[in-house]
């Protein structure tokens, strides 16, 4: 019953804060107006700049920012107890994450759809732009490289998800064709597409596909190559061909998956079979880094994530058709992600207690199940452990709706893999935008720019050999780098707002200060850990990140406090 109450209180809180805080920020601080020109209309080209209905772009934006982030972060952070994770997800997403995503979306829309690094050059200086470019490039390099590995591991864990994930692509292409080329009704045909996709889910449950080794390459390496080829094709196609229709299908898939989870929580909770078996607070589990600051680094998506700023200022800002839609897309998507993260917390602290398959084949239940899975940081830290806890716990709850556990696990496996695929090709497209804007002479051609992005990913992936796990070498840098980017993005938004609002800039500045402190703290602790392990590569890169962070923070701080509210200029802009 406590799980039901948590879910209802959190969801009710999100709805209330969207109406109160979200609309306050949009209407009073950013002063949204449909009279302002937007890049999607001003530079419409049918490829990257395409005015899009807010429901469709919401689907794209959410699928892109979510990926596996709001699943793996909360699924491991509950090792410190369910209460710290829940508080950070709820408060962080409302006050920090949603303001961050919405703010960077508006900032890009009011600056010709430019990337965050280009906007930084405009509002601070060119030197700072290149420091931020390094942080963004490194983050996207890791994401593009690692997500091939992530999806490959998911395919290995859930071979029944392979068929439906790949069949979603031709379904999405056909949906885009009949909607954009033939003028078919989007709502009706998207429902048809989702129904067909779920038929493939049932098919996949009875027809799992496993990748063999090929020419000495491991199955993971083979999948990584195939997925990067797909990412190349997807990121150069017009957004109406694959990106929008596939993400619209994914948004329907999200609604169905969330509905199943919500109903699963309600039915199993009200029946008395669902109980939280994790401790509320567990400050010192075996082998874990300190709760402060690593809780705020471990849970990024679901609370606040710097990657979201890259999506907001990358693909989404080029598709929002009018300013008022941006609140639903930017602020609303973040709260939806917080809702998913909340359900992940319930699945991994209550659902897992309804039945957990241990490695020795025994079925564990109750506190014993949770304690076994979260015995130590090492036990809970792998991707398979993180995703496995969510899928297992979710399937346990969904079973109460009369859906066989095998089908339920396939639904959740496809859900996770589909969103990871969206993040992969969106990150590829955003990386292409980044290098094209920063080095326009060299990477003017989209095929050359995208080819460079894919080549860099392949170099990192195979830096460890034929196993295709080279990207893992840089993965320890990702968490702190990602949250550093969130802090710096909020700082840039604050500079923009400072000249346009007497006190409104504090809605982004106070979160920026908090995120900068915890990120800097984590970077310093990481540096000591890398030095203890004599990992020279991570020491050097982490040191450069720290220098870049300090530089951008100092230059940004100077610019922020030298900027004054200019009411006369604001009135002229409105006119």
Average pLDDT over residues 348-367: 85
Which residues, other chains included, contact 336 with Cβ-Cβ below 8 Å and sequence gap of 6+? Answer: 62, 254
Structure confidence at residue 38 as a pLDDT band (50, 70, 90): very high
Residue 568 has pLDDT above 70, yes or no: no
Structure confidence at residue 574 as a pLDDT band (50, 70, 90): very low
What residue has token string 């609370």?
303
Residue 575: per-residue pLDDT: 44
Residue 117: per-residue pLDDT: 93
The tens digit of pLDDT for each residue in 376-432 reads: 887 666 666 778 888 889 999 999 899 988 888 888 888 888 888 888 989 999 999
CA dist 421 and 162 (Å) reads: 12
Average pLDDT over residues 286-313: 94
Residue 148: per-residue pLDDT: 82
CA dist 53 and 329 (Å) reads: 10
The tens digit of pLDDT for each residue in 336-357 reads: 999 999 999 999 999 999 988 7
Name the percent of the chain lying above pLDDT 70.
Answer: 97
CA dist 101 and 413 (Å) reads: 27
- Which of 371-387 are b and which e, b meaning 16 or more Cβ less than 10 Å from the residue's Cβ? eebbeeeeebeebebbb
Contact criterion met (CB below 8 Å) for 178 and 491? no
**For 130-139, 404-413, 504-513, 515-524, which range has the lowest pLDDT when averaged over its residues?**
404-413
Angle, CA 148 vertex, CA 548 and CA 486 arms, to 5°: 30
52, β-bridge pairs = 320
Residue 39: per-residue pLDDT: 97
Helices (H), 43-115: 54-66, 69-77, 82-91, 98-109
The tens digit of pLDDT for each residue in 229-259 reads: 999 999 999 988 988 888 888 878 878 888 9
Mean pLDDT, rounded, of the chain: 91
Residue 565: per-residue pLDDT: 75
Average pLDDT over residues 269-273: 88
CA dist 278 and 379 (Å) reads: 16
Contacts 24+ apart (CB under 8 A), 558-562: 559/123, 559/124, 559/125, 559/495, 560/491, 560/494, 560/495, 560/498, 560/505, 560/509
CA dist 233 and 242 (Å) reads: 10
State the CB neighbour count (10 A cutoff) for residue 361. Answer: 6
Stronger pLDDT, 191 or 312, i.e. the higher one: 312
Average pLDDT over residues 448-476: 92
């Amino acid at each position: 019953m406590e799980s039901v109450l948590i879910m209802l209180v959190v969801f009710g809180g999100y709805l209330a804060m969207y109406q109160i805080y979200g609309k306050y920020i949009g209407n009073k601080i950013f002063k949204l107006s449909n009279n302002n020109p937007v890049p999607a209309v001003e530079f419409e080209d049918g490829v990257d700049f395409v005015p899009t209905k807010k429901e469709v772009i919401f689907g794209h934006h959410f699928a892109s920012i979510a990926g596996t982030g709001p699943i793996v972060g909360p699924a491991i952070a509950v090792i410190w107890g369910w209460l710290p994770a829940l508080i950070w997800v709820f408060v962080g997403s409302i006050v920090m994450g949603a303001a961050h995503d919405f703010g960077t979306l508006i900032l890009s829309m009011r600056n010709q759809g430019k990337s965050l690094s280009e906007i930084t050059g405009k509002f601070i200086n060119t030197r700072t732009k290149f420091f931020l470019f390094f942080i963004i490039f490194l983050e996207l390099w890791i994401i593009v490289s690692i997500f091939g590995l992530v999806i490959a591991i998911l395919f290995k864990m859930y071979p029944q998800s392979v068929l439906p994930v790949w069949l979603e692509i031709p379904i999405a292409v056909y949906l885009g064709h009949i909607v954009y080329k033939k003028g078919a009704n989007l709502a009706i045909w998207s429902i048809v597409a989702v129904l067909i996709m779920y038929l493939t889910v049932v098919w996949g449950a009875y027809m799992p596909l496993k990748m063999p080794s090929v020419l000495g390459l491991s199955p993971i390496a083979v999948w990584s190559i195939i997925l990067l080829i797909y990412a190349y094709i997807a990121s150069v196609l017009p957004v109406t061909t694959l990106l929008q229709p596939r993400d619209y299908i994914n948004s329907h898939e999200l609604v169905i998956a969330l509905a199943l989870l919500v109903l699963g929580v309600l039915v199993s909770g009200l029946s008395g079979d669902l109980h939280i078996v994790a401790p509320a607070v567990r400050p010192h589990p075996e082998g874990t880094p300190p709760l402060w600051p690593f809780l705020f680094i471990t849970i990024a998506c679901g609370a606040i994530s710097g990657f979201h700023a890259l999506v907001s200022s990358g693909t989404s800002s080029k598709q929002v058709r009018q300013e008022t839609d941006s609140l639903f897309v930017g602020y609303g998507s973040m709260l939806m992600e917080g809702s998913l993260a909340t359900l992940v917390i319930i699945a991994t602290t209550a659902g897992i207690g309804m039945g957990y398959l241990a490695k020795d084949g025994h079925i564990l239940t109750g506190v014993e199940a949770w304690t076994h899975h979260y015995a130590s940081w090492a036990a809970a830290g792998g991707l398979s452990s993180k995703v496995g806890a969510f899928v297992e716990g979710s399937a346990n709850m969904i079973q109460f709706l009369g859906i066989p556990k095998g089908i339920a696990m396939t639904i959740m496996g496809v859900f996770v893999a589909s969103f990871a695929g969206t993040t992969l090709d969106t990150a590829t497209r955003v990386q292409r935008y980044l290098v094209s804007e920063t080095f326009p002479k060299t990477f003017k051609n989209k095929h050359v720019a995208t080819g460079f992005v894919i080549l860099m990913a392949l170099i990192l992936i195979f830096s460890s050999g034929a196993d295709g796990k080279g990207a893992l070498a840089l993965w320890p840098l990702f968490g702190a780098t990602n949250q550093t980017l969130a802090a710096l993005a909020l700082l840039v938004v604050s500079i923009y707002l400072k000249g346009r609002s007497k006190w409104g800039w504090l809605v982004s500045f106070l979160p920026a200060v908090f995120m900068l402190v915890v990120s800097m703290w984590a970077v310093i602790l990481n540096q000591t850990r890398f030095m203890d392990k004599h990992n020279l590569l991570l020491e050097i890169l982490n040191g450069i990140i720290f220098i870049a962070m300090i530089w951008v923070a100092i230059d940004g701080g100077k610019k922020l406090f030298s900027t004054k509210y200019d009411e006369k200029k604001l009135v002229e802009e409105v006119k």
